[in-house]
Amino acid sequence: MSPPLNSWLIAALCVSVGAACDRVACSVDGREEVPSPDGRWKAVVFSRNCTLGREQTAVSILEPSRQLGSEDPNLLIMTYADTVLGEQADAVLESLSLRWTTDSSISIEYDARAMIYYQVTRLWGLVVTYATVAPKTGGGS
């Protein structure tokens, strides 16, 4: 069952203008930090679980000295589509991979079954490209 429409609206409002976010409590668990080749930025991949919706995987770009806080992600927020259940949902959330292709560009791939809440293609002079990949099948790792 999908989260109620008002959950989506509040989440969108939080992302776009930062309003009403004090009503949306999110726990954040950092999974991976990937520094840019020149060391000016770091991309942080993390899990987010908010009171108004399902678990999410997110990406933020931060200065290297900055720690991930509870603020909203600034680059990407994704979750799994309504048709994806159980272990498949976990696979979608864990599918995200990223790599810096230059000092100012980053490439992000994720499972084609992901549902994107928010993504940007330019941020602070950085260029971001996205690609979907076919779901992994079988029991291998």
Stronger pLDDT, 19 or 89, i.e. the higher one:
89
pLDDT of residue 86: 73
28 occurs within a structural domain: yes
Whether 18 has a pLDDT exceeding 70, the answer reads no
Domain total for the chain?
A: 1
Domain housing 113: 5-133
Stronger pLDDT, 8 or 109, i.e. the higher one:
109
- How many angstroms separate the CA atoms of 127 and 49, rounded? 27
In 3D space, the residue among 38, 39, 56 whose CA is nearest the CA of residue 47 turns out to be 56
Record the tokens describing residue 12, joined without a space: 């969108």
Residue with tokens 């806080």: 69
The model carries a pTM of 0.72
Stronger pLDDT, 17 or 49, i.e. the higher one:
49
pLDDT of residue 103: 95
- How many angstroms separate the CA atoms of 85 and 125, rounded? 37
Whether 137 has a pLDDT exceeding 70, the answer reads no
- How many angstroms separate the CA atoms of 40 and 92, rounded? 30
The pLDDT tens digits for 48-84 are 777 656 778 888 999 999 887 766 668 888 888 777 7
Q: Which residues pair with 105 in a beta bridge?
A: 102, 127
138 occurs within a structural domain: no
Q: Mean pLDDT in the chain? A: 77
9 occurs within a structural domain: yes
- Using pLDDT thresholds of 50, 70 and 90, give the confidence band for residue 30: confident
121 occurs within a structural domain: yes
Q: Which of 7-16, 49-58, 73-82, 104-113 has the highest mean pLDDT?
A: 104-113
